[in-house]
Amino acid sequence: MKPNKAHFKTREVHAGVTPDPVTGAILTPIYQSTTYVQESVDQYLEKGYSYSRSGNPTVAALEERVNSLEGGSGALCFATGMAATSCTMMALLNAGEHAVLSDVVYGGTHRLSTRVLSRFGVEYSFVDTSDPKNVRDAIKDNTRLIFTETPANPTLKLTDIAGVSEIAKKAGIPHVVDNTFLTPFYQRPLELGADISLHSTTKYMDGHNVTVGGAIIAADPAHVEAISFVRNCLGSNMSPMVAFYTLQGCKTMSTRLEAQSARALKIAQFLETHPMVERVAYPGLESFPQYELAKSQASGFGAMLWFEVKGGVKSGKKLMDTLELWSLAENLGSVESLVTHSVTMTHADMDPAERKKVGITDGLVRLSCGLEDADDLIADLDQALGQL
């Protein structure tokens, strides 16, 4: 069976990779080479590669893999998730043009827009994309990009991908979805009408806290070509070593995500009943405000959740410092369970008033559930909550 026609879990292991024609090695080698010798001037690029900034066989194998998983017409991998976002925005926007973004996005995406690309004449509106009507109302004559993140980091607010994509299509504006939190295993934006799905591969695709990387998968080959051009100009490509690690890590992505999501639900249910917990947000809880949308546009709820403890910020900080098994760290999606204080860490550069307005409160404790035993993870939370 051709891997690209197979089920998701088969493609996750095999797509993009065939045994090495020279040695039979089952894994695509790390093509650690800057340049590629050409047969003759007239046969330039006959084998597909000239210089590793423009393309590399190990990276190409990962691109084929992620393209197969998202169902695109082409994919590109980058040095980081932020490189994927920067190159995409720079390919799709010119000076004097405008982009509509989710009001809750990863802090780095917010910083890139407001503090870097704004200096080059790009204008941004941050709107509550949980209601597609707000996106329609924010579109102006010069709007050339709609960029949503769902579930959003860190509040987990959801955007109706199909609803926003329909508005984007009618207006002729590309819709890019940051799909990092759910991965193509649980959510496939292109099938819901989006134009580009974007990832920080640093998270679930790697899954082991080993690499930083990024990817985009596009429905339209013209978008792949335009973004590839910018990637080559900026030199934001992924290294072959990172592609090799990511090719191995993503073989178990769906299996890890299923197991980590099961732990997240159990942990969310425990927190919901704890007397020291003020509120809990997890898309798989019926109490989650967008529970129905979570069920309808994704096949799983993911392994991210957040909560606030009674006693405000002081108690929240004490809890994070008292946890023993959960590591206080940035990043998410790894097999190690992590706790993050978004206000101090991932969203520190955002204006405090703006942060508060969109629900990133000072007491928000973000959890990325890993693969440790759920009972141990719960016991650690219980002991830390008990000390408040």
Ligand X SMILES: Cc1ncc(COP(=O)(O)O)c(C=O)c1O
Which CB atom, from 64 or from 149, has the smaller least distance to ligand X? 149
| CA separation for the pair 341, 118 (Å, rounded) | 27
Q: Considering the complex, what minimum distance in angstroms separates the CB of residue 347 from ligand X?
A: 10
Element (H, E) at 256: helix 253-273
Q: Considering the complex, what minimum distance in angstroms separates the CB of residue 178 from ligand X?
A: 5
| CA separation for the pair 186, 1 (Å, rounded) | 24
53 is catalytic: yes
Catalog residues that contact ligand X under the rule CB under 6 A. 80-82, 106, 108, 149, 153, 178, 180, 200, 202, 212, 214
Q: Considering the complex, what minimum distance in angstroms separates the CB of residue 16 from ligand X?
A: 20
β-strand pairing of 74-78 with 214-218: antiparallel
Active-site residue identified among 9, 53, 136, 317: 53
Q: Considering the complex, what minimum distance in angstroms separates the CB of residue 108 from ligand X?
A: 5
Query: For the packed helices 374-386 and 312-322, what is the interaxial angle rounded to 10 degrees?
Result: 130
Which CB atom, from 62 or from 378, has the smaller least distance to ligand X? 62
DSSP 8-state symbol, 61: H
Q: Tell me the two tokens of residue 220.
A: 């339209």
β-strand pairing of 196-200 with 175-178: parallel
Contact (Cβ atoms closer than 8 angstroms) between residue 98 and residue 241? no
**Three-class secondary structure of residue 368 per DSSP:** strand
Q: Considering the complex, what minimum distance in angstroms separates the CB of residue 77 from ligand X?
A: 11
Q: What is the DSSP string of 162-218?
A: HHHHHHHHHHT--EEEE-TTTHHHH--GGGGT-SEEEEETTTTTT-SS----EEEEE
DSSP 8-state symbol, 373: -
What residues contact 47, with CB distance under 8 A and at least 6 apart? 36
Task: Match 């930083």 to its residue by tokens.
Answer: 212
Q: Considering the complex, what minimum distance in angstroms separates the CB of residue 213 from ligand X?
A: 6
For 246, other C-beta atoms within 10 Å of its C-beta total 29
Which CB atom, from 105 or from 309, has the smaller least distance to ligand X? 105
Q: Considering the complex, what minimum distance in angstroms separates the CB of residue 385 from ligand X?
A: 26
What is the number of the residue whose Cβ is closest to ligand X?
Answer: 81
Contact (Cβ atoms closer than 8 angstroms) between residue 96 and residue 141? no
Which CB atom, from 49 or from 106, has the smaller least distance to ligand X? 106
106 is catalytic: yes
Active-site residue identified among 106, 204, 245, 282: 106
Which CB atom, from 80 or from 129, has the smaller least distance to ligand X? 80
Active-site residue identified among 11, 157, 188, 203: 203
Q: Tell me the two tokens of residue 21.
A: 């024609």
Q: Tell me the two tokens of residue 19.
A: 């045994």
Which CB atom, from 52 or from 202, has the smaller least distance to ligand X? 202
What residues contact 88, with CB distance under 8 A and at least 6 apart? 176, 196, 198, 216, 227
Which CB atom, from 179 or from 315, has the smaller least distance to ligand X? 179
Give the residue numbers annotated as catalytic, written as ranges: 53, 106, 178, 203
